[in-house]
Amino acid sequence: MREYQARYKERHPERVAEGARRRSQAHRDRYPELTRERERADAARRREADPDQFRRWYQQNLERERKRGREAAQLRRRLTKLGLPPRKIHKTYAADRRKNEAAADAFFSRHRRINDQIRIRAESFEALPGHRAAVEFRARYLAASAIEKADARDREARARAIVDSARQRLPAKQLEQITEDVRMDSVARQLRGATPFNIDAEVQRRVHELVVERALRTPIDAHERDEMHRLIRASFPVPAQSRTERPAAQSRPRRAREGSQDRGHEL
């Protein structure tokens, strides 16, 4: 058994050290008063054996201790200047801190039932008189805003449905006529020396313009006509005319004038 333990310590020194630290810490937490008395007695014996131990340590860490003293003095002066009370330091043993942290983690991480949640909310409302009114006002505000958002989404959906319905009612012959008109207009532009239309894009633009115009003529309730018209114009803007960029014309070589040629011969 001892040989096995020795081999284990040789193979896993870090695990052994960590286990020893945990056991030592658990023992100190289990017997805190005895641990403190033993530490005080050990410190007293060290002071008797070497009275200059603290002085040597202070000289070795002189700059760090002076810096800490300056920072503490600056903090006291700042608090006094601001009219605040001095800093209060409540010393707590490490075992107590660990115990309090463990209790706090267990308290805040535990699962709470619905009745406990209702009771905690009621206690918070009683502790803060104005909190209940603020929470109720926020709930009403969020509910109102949710209703308004739902109404806005409903109006937008109706506007889109009106435009889609007008697009579906567009006859095929009218679409063919629009395509032919765009083609003829593009030819006329070329004859005038202007850039031609992008046929597909211009057809889509004119169809869209016609559909939106018909959607705006759709019978709508008087109290929401302006809002629906605004939504239709905002959601379905009519794009600008689409034109095909004409490639840049190649520059032709210019002929030299006769006078310049004559002057060249004269030179």
Residue 186 clears pLDDT 60, i.e. is over it: yes
Give the pLDDT score at 168.
86
- Tens of pLDDT along 141-171? 566 666 676 776 777 787 788 888 888 888 8
CA 207/CA 201 separation, integer angstroms: 10
Q: How many residues would you count in the chain?
A: 267
Which tokens in the block code for residue 176? 């063919």
pLDDT of residue 80: 86
The residue written with tokens 């705006």 in the block is: 216
pLDDT tens sequence across 8-22 = 888 888 988 898 888
Kindly report the pTM of this predicted structure: 0.35
State the pLDDT confidence band at 247, using cuts at 50, 70 and 90: very low
DSSP character for 48?
Answer: H
Does residue 177 contact residue 210 with C-beta atoms inside 8 Å?
A: no
Whether 62 has a pLDDT exceeding 90, the answer reads yes
- Rounded average pLDDT over 226-242: 65
- Among 148, 145, 146, 122, residue whose Cα is nearest residue 135: 122
pLDDT tens profile 91-147: 888 888 888 888 888 888 888 888 877 777 766 655 455 556 556 656 665 666 666
Q: Which residue would you say has higher pLDDT here, 87 or 37?
A: 37
Note whether 179 and 199 are within 8 A (CB): yes
The end-to-end CA distance of the chain, in Å, is 121
* pLDDT bracket for residue 70 (50, 70, 90): very high
Domain positions in the chain are 2-109, 149-235
Give 34-43 pLDDT, tens digit per residue: 888 998 999 9
pLDDT-based confidence at residue 253 (cuts at 50, 70, 90): very low
User: What is the rounded distance in angstroms from the CA atom of residue 143 to the CA atom of residue 151?
Assistant: 12
- pLDDT at residue 214 is higher than 50: yes
Q: How far apart are CA 31 and CA 253, in angstroms?
A: 107
241 versus 101: which is more confidently predicted? 101
